[in-house]
Chains A and B, each alone.
Chain A
Amino acid sequence: MGRIKTIARRSFLIGSAAIVGGVAFGTYMYKRDVANPLEADLGEGAATFNPFVKIDADAVTLITPRADVGQGAYSIQAHLIAEELDVDLDTVRIEPGPPSPAYYNGVVAVEGMPIAATSETMLARTGRGAANVVGKLMGLQLTGGSTTVPDMYERLREAGAVARETLIAAAAAQTGLEAGTLRTESGAVVLPDGVRLAYTDLAATAAETPVVEEVSLRDPSTWRHLGKPHMRTDMVAKSTGTQDYGIDLRMDGMVHATTRTNPALGGGILGFDASEAEAMRGVQAVLPITGGIAVVADNTWRAFQAAQAVACDWGDTPYIGDTALQFDAVATSFVEDRQDSRFKDEGDVTEALAGADVMEAEYRIPYLAHAPLEPMSVVVKLSDGRLDIWTGTQIPRFVQAGAASVAGLEAEDVYVHVLMSGGSFGRRLEDDYVRQAVEIAMQLPDTPIQMVWQREEDMTHDFPRPLAIARARGLASDSGVQGYDLSIAAPSVAKSSLARLGQPAMGPDVAIVAGAWDQPFAIPNYRVTGYRVPAMVPVSSWRSVGASGNGFLHECFFDEMCHSAGLDPLEERLRLCTHDVSRKVLEAVGEMSNWGSDPGAGRGRGLAFVLSFGVPVAQVVEVMDTGDGIRIDKVFVAADVGRVLDPVNFEAQVTGGVVWGLGHAMNCELTYAGGVAQQDNYHAFEGMRLYQTPQIEVRGLENGTKIQGIGEPGVPPAAPALGNAIFAATGQRIREMPFSKSVDFV
């Protein structure tokens, strides 16, 4: 049965979410069309049907506006369009497109709302609709929150279908044949006699053809690419050294720059002496920038060397600068006037946990750096009132606006060219490094300037995942977990990062409790309270954001309760689970891991479950206590994204998330002394290496009713599953990261 959907052009452009009453925004603005940015510089004889497809005599160009930071976003976006447009991806151009409100993200704002993914109440649906309104009104062109697939799943297929049907109409007009007798295949309209009219040859006619406004999407049972393994479009380039990242651009007359700002965050610069640096070979200029200095040279290494040779007089950090004191600030935040949220409050926790047999524990998680392998880098050129910026970024419109404000230009005079990113994990949701480069360009106009940070600059100027403390109380008996009272105190990511983007952050910060308050378990007395720690060093989103740490806090104490009462952690979760899709995920991981069987001497299995970004994920980690340390042997993962569009990349994203979650839990923390991050390179912030990497078995389930993204949800259960496995193997309960403080790993 084909799902036929009639789509008016206007509704296509505004997305498919229904607007429900009660939204605080006027619908008039919301319903207005957003201009197609591809029309701006459309050549003669070229056609564009919507913001995602452009065809001229030379090529079919697909616009994939969500940034590719390694998660395969370009590839899946292109496949979504191609499934309807009938083009072969090795013959088309794939471009990220310009900054434009047309590329707003219609679902990411949901993550900022206290709506459980499992909730289907009117309020929840209203909120999701409002997220679309917010995204569109703001022109929120942002990659993050594992939203690319849910946000683009229909929009891009519709874009492909509209283009296809318009090309068929153009072919019909050109040949005089009935549109109904024509079909499409591999970039061409095929006539009944088999003659093929290439889309590129139809471009001029299509440009004059009214856009077909009513299209139907193909039924998934007829898909040729989606849902099946496919080759990502970037694999050959990335395996042959021919993929250009921001750091790789080379232009005529380009100079190389680096910056050095106060490692004591926010301390600013009181003065500097560049005389030694200025005399060094290849150095063209040492320039002041906000908070530090920039060196411009004819070679990146020379710029690095000279930057180190500048004698800087740094100011003191305005923040609480030492990690022990930072944790003190968190520990003293469990007070009423810092209570930020209590989205979960079932039963009567106060009454249920009044007795003497209540368990209590405190958990801690550290600051963590993003440290993508490509350090922050950007190429800028300011010439005759036009500013060009080439960089890997998740926020092109904010980059544009921020650069415009620094340079005193209108946003329309700032051209942002988005490049492939050498990793991000949330780091490229910031534009600090671009602003620095613009400051350099203003002092050195008419010259392409490539600015690259040294690794040490990158790691000491990150906006880390915030630290947190959880205080957990609970009660379990042989009849089950009776009460769970989890309090989490952390600084607000939303307030910190949105302020840097010039946006207000209203209401409670869901990230403080995400992955903890919204779990599908019917514990009779169940309360999750968030406390907001006053702002300290600036913090930001880190792969899986709040859930990255909260999964550890929620799931390890749940495990403690189960063990205290002799409950099987899997059976107890299944008993309490209120969400069928999640239950099946738990059952699957139990089966995959042979849960309940004897793991053998010295071995232990740990289970954790976290529902984040709408995706329930269960993981079982199996460890061996070797005597020399803990070895992680196997990880079993079951996850449900509703529909797996590319099983190969799905598996890559899940395993990558597991490695990310395990590696940082084992080995990483970011600590500060005097406001200076103490881990300034990978020797002190290792993550996971290959020799520590377990076998990882992944199963993608498709019981969910909504399609979801998988870049992040694989992360949160990994750390708690490891902690629970170590307990099972050794009897040692770890309540602090990195785990390497408590046990050795081999």
Chain B
Amino acid sequence: MRGLVCALLIAGTGVSAQTVTREEGMAAWERIFAAASHPRCTNCHVGAQEEPMWEGLSYGTGAVHGMGVKADESRIGAESMPCRACHITAAGRDVASPAAPQIDEAWQLAPVELDWLGTDSATLCAMLRDPDRNDGHDIAGLVEHLESSPFVAWGFAPGPGRSKPPGSVEDMARDVALWGAAGSPCE
């Protein structure tokens, strides 16, 4: 089954299955982890705390989102203050820091099960390759998510004055495909 998925994936990304070794897969994973564990991603990939983070963004270690913001159980702030009160839903607005970023989707936290904050490489790797724990994505789904999500796109182009994870959306999508083609190795 995995082989089929990989073949499909690779067809879409130009990666040749025969060329992907386990070592190359692990190297791809390390690059994926470097991006996924960047505060730009983990700040919204928080768990049950319902509180976005402002970690590592000049606000200091362990900083939570200012203003006591809570995204609530709804993950969009519906029970208190909707995220979109400040994070306007709009396309093409390259909002500079420190104003609130805008994307063409309702601003929200990632699903509660995708709790990446403080997660080590092996744990996150195991989570991401398991559709039961990664919001139902197989490798192809992950690639598609990366390539189509306005959140991911914004994360790699967060606007003037904001730090960004290493690489690009394309790099990360290719690395996920590579990693998948190598059998999603975690160690």
Contact = CB atoms under 8 A, between A and B. Distances in A.
Interface of A: 681, 683-684, 686, 689-692, 744
B68 A683 contact: no
A690 B98 contact: no
B66 A686 contact: yes
B67 interface: yes
B66 A691 contact: no
Contacts of B98: 681, 683-684
7 contacts: A683-B98, A684-B98, A689-B66, A689-B67, A689-B68, A690-B68, A692-B68
A644 B131 CA distance: 67
Nearest to B67: A689
Contacts of A691: 67-68
Contacts of B66: 683, 686, 689
A631 to B, nearest CB: 12
Contacts of B68: 689-692
A180 B175 CA distance: 98
A692 B67 CA distance: 9
Contacts, number: 13
Contacts of A681: 98
A681 B96 CA distance: 14
Closest CB pairs A-B (n = 4) = A691-B68, A683-B98, A689-B68, A689-B67
Q: What range describes how many residues of B lie at the interface?
A: under 10
A351 to B, nearest CB: 47
Contacts of A683: 66, 98
A552 to B, nearest CB: 23
Interface in B63-78: 66-68
Contacts of A690: 68
B59 to A, nearest CB: 9
Nearest to A691: B68
A691 B68 CA distance: 6
Nearest to B98: A683
Contacts of A689: 66-68
Interface in B48-98: 62, 66-68, 98
A659 to B, nearest CB: 15
A686 B63 CA distance: 14
- Of residues A683, A686, A690, which shows the largest number of chain B Cβ atoms within 10 Å of its Cβ? A683
A681 B66 CA distance: 13
B10 to A, nearest CB: 45
Nearest to B58: A684
Given A689-B67, A690-B68, A744-B62, 7 more contacts: A683-B66, A684-B98, A689-B66, A689-B68, A691-B67, A691-B68, A692-B68
Nearest to B59: A683
A667 to B, nearest CB: 10
A168 to B, nearest CB: 57
Interface string B101-137: 0000000000000000000000000000000000000
A505 B98 CA distance: 41
A29 B66 CA distance: 57
Nearest to A684: B98
Nearest to A681: B98
B163 to A, nearest CB: 16
Contacts of B62: 744
A528 B10 CA distance: 78
A744 B66 CA distance: 13
A190 B67 CA distance: 57
A691 B67 CA distance: 8
A428 to B, nearest CB: 26
A13 to B, nearest CB: 51
A663 to B, nearest CB: 13
A371 B62 CA distance: 27
B98 to A, nearest CB: 4
A684 B67 CA distance: 12
A691 B64 CA distance: 13
A681 B98 CA distance: 9
A706 B98 CA distance: 48
A692 B68 CA distance: 8
A681 B97 CA distance: 11
Nearest to B70: A691
Nearest to B68: A691
A686 B59 CA distance: 12
Interface string B156-182: 000000000000000000000000000
A691 B65 CA distance: 13
A689 B66 CA distance: 9
A725 B62 CA distance: 24
B120 to A, nearest CB: 22
B171 to A, nearest CB: 31
Contacts of A692: 68
Nearest to A690: B68
A683 B67 CA distance: 9
A454 to B, nearest CB: 13
A692 B62 CA distance: 18
A689 B68 CA distance: 8
B66 to A, nearest CB: 7
A310 B117 CA distance: 43
A459 to B, nearest CB: 13
B81 to A, nearest CB: 11
A689 B62 CA distance: 19
B41 to A, nearest CB: 21
Nearest to A667: B66
A570 B62 CA distance: 37
A275 B57 CA distance: 36
A683 B98 CA distance: 7
A690 B81 CA distance: 13
A744 B63 CA distance: 9
B91 to A, nearest CB: 21
Contacts of A744: 62
A692 B66 CA distance: 11
Nearest to B97: A683
A146 B180 CA distance: 70
